């Protein structure tokens, strides 16, 4: 795992600024504290910060081919590199290392930009083709590794994190109004947008080519849902193939020359990973979990994590979060995020990653199971949409009005509001919003409301739905979640928070072959009645305690709502004061005050929204008000 960055003065071919590149790499030091390297070729400069995992002694980057004309910097891991290197050796290529990165230069020599199609792994890399004077960038199929870029028609600047790009004097830190609108709807900013007006995020499964003619991006992969009507295999046959794919995916991700472990929440996904690791290794798996101190302890998942750890006699470690950690670390978390992500689990991810980094350099995690195998409640709720579509408009209005007068009940309110939207794209945009389409216009300031079309999120969902081959409602939801919710929230959070601790996080459930298998599964093997992740649970049943299979999904249940009414209330109020909101000019201070008061009183649960607004304010302070500076590491309580 690494951080990469580079710049190419492609228009006028002026010499690349080596001093600037060195500064960009310094901004990525947390991603790769073990080593650094650069390659300068006239107008081109690329560099790397390395976290040594495979071939610790010989895997320094940048790496070049035999004649030095093809040079690569890479972030991530290529899990099938041994198979690829054997094939390339048969074709006459000479390897200088046993590192997975070297495969990329020789594969590029053979296949050019099509080299990405042979890769199995998580990656974001840049290849310089000196003969063609061409820079080639690529991002993995599911978006596990990030790759940001800036293009002003004169130069291309890229990096693993936005903060490195901001070091260039020609890059503006201006806010992107469209991204703000997306953020308030979704809790995150979807690729290719970012919260910075001039910076883009290369979407998952895309490549970018930059030469004298400019910059162009192109997709090379998409998640296809076959949904064939022909004869289907038996459930047992699907289960057998799923088990084989799970085992292979975990086995591939155990390749490491350094100590490793696993994040363990006690949910089905992370527990399955720990179960398979325990079956494959001859020593206890090091597991890492997060819980809460004080009144919030009841919301903790630790009893389930301990159950699995005890079941497999794991070397188990825990860290506890308090409201004071939110106060102390919120700004640091936002610095590492690069842009607002209103996901409360970022704080938990950050702290458990720092705990793990005290013991290992790499962990396996459980992200992806819910999006591939239908693990969220909204997939079951969506089945009611045909019923709601037949209700008279007056009945829908009455139900909505009644729900808004009920205190609390955030999730049922969200579900009811979404189901009352007749249009599919409108429903999608309301299933997990930071604020729904009713609240959002009131939340924006007059100026922002005039500069951002309020229907743009629904239009974005409609465009996304038009792209998929899926026809069933379930698979269409899974496609949307896999294309954006997964990479732009969950994986962005996982990458940034693990890299903040110089920790590599591998995601076995997001092997692209496993994802393609899940997409081809009949819908009833993902969601059967009210049983979510049906086939995955069936396969995992022999490996896990029954309480884990039957338990209700929680995620990282951080008690933000309670903290914002208690110990963190003054901190929140200070950051979201009417004077501060008015000075920013983005939000309506009266609406923000109403949200704060209704949350304080317990009439409504606005914990997620308030965390999002706090994220937004902290992002302003860290990135727009002053140059971003690296924060100090946290003090952990195990």
Backbone angles phi, psi at 219, to 5 degrees: -75, 145
- Supply φ then ψ for residue 11, to 5 degrees: -80, -55
What is the rounded distance in angstroms from the CA atom of residue 387 to the CA atom of residue 214? 51
Please report where in the chains the tokens 């590199």 appear, as a residue. Answer: 81
For 426, the token pair is 């409108």
Question: Exactly one of 2, 115, 346, 540 is catalytic; which is it?
Answer: 2
Cα–Cα distance measured from residue 105 to residue 492, given in angstroms and rounded to the nearest whole number? 27
Instruction: Give the residue among 432, 402, 396 at the shortest CA–CA distance from 414.
Output: 432
Q: How far apart are CA 448 and CA 467, in angstroms?
A: 30
Q: Residue 290, annotated ligand binder?
A: yes
256: left (phi over 0), alpha (psi -120 to 50) or beta: beta
- Write the DSSP string, 366-430: -TTHHHHHT-SHHHHHGGGHHHHHTS-HHHHHHHHHHHHTSSS-HHHHHHHHHHT--SHHHHHHH
Q: Which residue has the tokens 């929680």?
A: 554
Please give the Cα distance from 351 to 374 (Å, whole number).
28
Q: 417 vs 434, 475, 614, CA distance in Å? A: 13, 21, 25
4 three-class SS:
strand
Query: 472: closest CA among 563, 551, 385?
Result: 385
Q: Could you tell me which residues are beta bridge partners of residue 444?
A: 587
Q: Which tokens sit at 504? A: 């590599």
Residue 2 known to be catalytic: yes
Nearest-angstrom CA–CA distance, 224 and 467:
10
- Residue 289 CA to residue 304 CA, distance in Å, equals 10
CA distance 321 to 560: 11
Helix, strand counts (H, E) of the chain: 29, 17
Contact present, 516 and 469 (Cβ < 8 Å) = no
628's tokens: 């971003």
What are 462-466's contacts with CB under 8 Å, separation 24+? 462/424, 462/425, 465/424, 465/425, 465/428
Contact 400, 394 (CB under 8 A): no
Burial of 35 (0-12, 13-18, 19+ CB in 10 A): middle
Give the span between the Cα atoms of 6 and 62, in whole angstroms: 11
- Beta carbons within 10 angstroms of residue 87's beta carbon: 15
Give bridge partners of residue 337 from the DSSP assignment. none
Helix (H) or strand (E) holding 7, with range, is strand 2-8
Peptide bond into 192 cis (omega under 30): yes
Q: How far apart are CA 43 and CA 373, in angstroms?
A: 46
Task: Check whether 100 is labelled as a binding-site residue.
Answer: yes
- List the structure tokens of 410: 């955030």
Residues in binding site: 100, 290
Q: Which residues are catalytic?
A: 2
Query: Which residues line the annotated binding site for L-glutamine?
Result: 100
Annotated binding site for ATP: 290
């Amino acid at each position: 795992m690494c951080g990469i960055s580079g710049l190419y003065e492609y228009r006028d071919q002026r010499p690349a600024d080596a001093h600037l590149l060195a500064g960009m790499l310094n901004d990525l030091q947390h991603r790769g504290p073990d080593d650094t390297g650069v390659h300068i070729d006239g107008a081109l400069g690329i560099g790397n910060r390395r976290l040594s995992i495979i071939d610790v002694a010989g895997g320094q980057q940048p790496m070049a081919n035999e004649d030095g004309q093809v040079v690569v910097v890479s972030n991530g891991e290529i899990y099938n590199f041994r198979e690829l290197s054997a094939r390339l050796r048969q074709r006459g290529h000479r390897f200088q290392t046993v590192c997975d990165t070297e495969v990329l230069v020789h594969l590029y020599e053979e296949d050019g930009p099509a080299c990405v199609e042979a890769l199995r792994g998580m990656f974001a890399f840049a290849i310089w083709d000196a003969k063609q004077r061409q820079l080639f960038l690529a991002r993995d199929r599911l978006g596990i590794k990030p790759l940001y870029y800036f293009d002003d028609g004169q130069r291309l600047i890229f990096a693993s994190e936005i903060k490195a790009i901001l070091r260039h004097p020609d890059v503006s830190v201006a806010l992107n109004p469209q991204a703000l609108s997306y953020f308030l709807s979704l809790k995150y900013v979807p690729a290719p947008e970012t919260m910075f007006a001039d910076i883009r995020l290369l979407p998952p499964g895309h490549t970018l080519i930059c030469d004298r003619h400019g910059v162009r991006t192109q997709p090379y992969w998409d998640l296809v849902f076959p949904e064939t009507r022909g004869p289907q295999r038996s459930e047992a046959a699907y289960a057998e193939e799923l088990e084989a794919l799970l085992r292979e995916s975990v086995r591939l991700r155990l390749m490491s020359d350094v100590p490793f472990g696993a994040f363990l929440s006690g949910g089905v996904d992370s527990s399955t990973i720990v179960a398979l690791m325990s079956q494959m290794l001859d020593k206890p798996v090091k597991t890492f979990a997060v819980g809460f101190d004080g009144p919030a302890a009841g919301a903790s998942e630790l009893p389930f994590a301990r159950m699995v750890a005890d079941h497999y006699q794991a070397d188990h470690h825990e860290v506890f979060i308090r409201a004071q950690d939110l106060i102390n670390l919120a700004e640091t978390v936002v610095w590492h995020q690069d842009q607002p992500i209103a996901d409360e689990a970022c704080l938990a991810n950050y702290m458990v990653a720092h705990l793990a980094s005290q013991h290992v350099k790499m962990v396996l995690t459980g992200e992806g199971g819910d999006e591939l195998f239908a693990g969220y409640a909204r997939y079951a709720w969506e089945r009611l949409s045909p019923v709601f579509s037949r209700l008279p408009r007056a009945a829908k209005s009455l139900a909505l009005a009644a729900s808004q007068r009920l205190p609390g009940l955030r999730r049922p309110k969200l579900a009811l509001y979404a189901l009352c939207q007749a249009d599919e794209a409108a429903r999608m945009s309301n299933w997990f919003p930071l604020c729904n389409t009713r609240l959002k216009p009131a939340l924006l300031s007059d100026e922002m409301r005039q500069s951002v079309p309020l229907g743009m999120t629904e239009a974005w969902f409609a465009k996304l739905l038009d792209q998929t081959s899926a026809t069933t409602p379930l698979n269409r939801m899974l496609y949307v979640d896999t294309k954006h919710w997964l990479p732009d929230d969950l994986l962005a959070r996982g990458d940034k928070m693990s890299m903040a601790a110089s920790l590599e996080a591998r995601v076995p459930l997001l092997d692209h072959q496993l994802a393609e298998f899940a997409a081809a599964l009949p819908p009833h093997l993902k969601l059967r009645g009210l049983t979510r992740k049906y086939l995955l649970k069936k396969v995992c049943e022999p490996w896990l305690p029954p309480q884990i299979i039957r338990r209700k999904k929680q995620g990282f249940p951080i008690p933000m709502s309670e903290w914002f009414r208690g110990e963190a209330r003054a901190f929140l109020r200070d950051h979201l004061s009417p004077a501060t909101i008015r000075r920013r000019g983005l939000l309506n201070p009266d609406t923000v005050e109403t949200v704060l008061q209704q949350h304080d009183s317990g009439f409504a649960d606005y914990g997620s929204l308030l965390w999002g607004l706090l994220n937004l304010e902290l992002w302003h302070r860290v990135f727009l008000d002053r140059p971003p500076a690296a924060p100090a590491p946290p003090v952990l309580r195990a």
